[in-house]
Amino acid sequence: MIESGPACKGPSRASEAQAAVSKFSSGCQVALAQGGGLPASAGNPAKPGSRELGSVGAAKSELEMAAAKEFKVVLAGQFGSGKTTFATRIKSAKSDKKEIKALKTTQYPVTLQTSAGQVTLNLFDTNLHAKGGLPDDGFFRTADASIVFFDLTNEGSYTAMEDWYDAVIKANGRKGSEPLPVVVVGTKADDIKGRDIKPAAIEFPRKKEHTYREISAQANYGVKELLLDVCKALLGDSVQLTAEVEMDKPSIDKIDEEQLEKLFAEYEKAASA
């Protein structure tokens, strides 16, 4: 199995919901088949702002998501931050892509074999260019998760990332349920000398309590691990990839992984301070 490499993780929220669904799946399926409501947990009423067992809509949503194992994953971030480069590294995503003209969007389907079964991540990438600003709400809506990108060699993209993050969170307001799973990604990690942001200055993911990973899509560094991060955010920390992910040949042959690990250790040290 392919295990995740260095990444700084936020609190796992998927595992709690997954356990709840497993515990009550039989009763829920019977109740849904009969057209009734889902069972609440005895002595454990739902709490405002949380996804408790007593929340009918939340539990039903988790059952539907677990059955489908197909998810909309919004790629958010400033033009040039590496979203499209990431999506097009995966062979199947590039060959099976489709245009959604109404949303000015390209959808890249990534089908993965995991310990939880086959999972398809539909990566939604906006076609708006530099002067297009943020996409309309329709691009962000109905997301199951989001990957928020910034370019490690461009401090401006790090600043702009917050606007994209706010847009995807606002469009997927989840009152009374679990927050949208988000993974924050620093791209172009191979350009160590060109870095514009020091590890200790990357505060956004730790303040928001989201998993953070650094990748170099052109070197195929961290791409598989990022896909696994998303699967874990959606299906729980125990999920692993059980088959290789076919990617295009890297355009960057050499990368100083030892130095990258040291830089990431600096981030983790600052995050735990």
**26: Cβ–Cβ under 8 A, 6 or more apart, which residues?**
none
Closest residue by Cα to residue 215 from 230, 200, 203? 230
For residue 213, give the 3-state DSSP assignment: strand
Q: Is residue 173 assigned to a domain?
A: yes
For position 253, what pLDDT does the model report?
A: 87
Which CATH number belongs to the domain containing residue 139 in this structure?
3.40.50.300
pLDDT in tens, the chain (273 residues): 655 567 777 655 454 445 443 443 444 444 444 444 444 433 343 333 333 334 444 444 454 455 549 999 999 999 999 999 999 999 999 999 999 999 999 999 999 999 999 999 999 999 987 566 799 999 999 999 999 999 999 999 999 999 999 999 999 986 666 789 999 999 999 999 999 999 999 999 999 999 999 999 999 999 999 999 999 999 999 999 999 999 999 999 899 999 999 999 999 999 887
User: Other CB atoms closer than 10 Å to residue 10's CB: what's the count?
Assistant: 18
Residue 150: phi and psi, rounded to 5, are: -145, 155
For position 226, what pLDDT does the model report?
A: 98
Burial class (CB in 10 A: 0-12, 13-18, 19+), 235: buried
Report the alpha-carbon distance of residue 105 to residue 90 in Å, rounded.
18
Asked if 225 and 214 count as a contact pair (C-beta separation under 8 A), the reply is: no
For position 152, what pLDDT does the model report?
A: 98
Q: Is residue 84 assigned to a domain?
A: yes
Q: Is residue 248 assigned to a domain?
A: yes
Structural domain for 101, as ranges: 69-272
For position 271, what pLDDT does the model report?
A: 87
CA–CA–CA angle 198, 203, 209 (5° rounding): 140
Q: Is residue 40 assigned to a domain?
A: no
For position 26, what pLDDT does the model report?
A: 44
Place of tokens 């979203």: 83
Q: Is residue 201 assigned to a domain?
A: yes
Report pTM.
0.77
Q: Is residue 13 assigned to a domain?
A: no
Find the length of the chain: 273
For position 47, what pLDDT does the model report?
A: 38
| Count of domains forming the chain | 1
Q: Is residue 82 assigned to a domain?
A: yes
Q: Is residue 19 assigned to a domain?
A: no
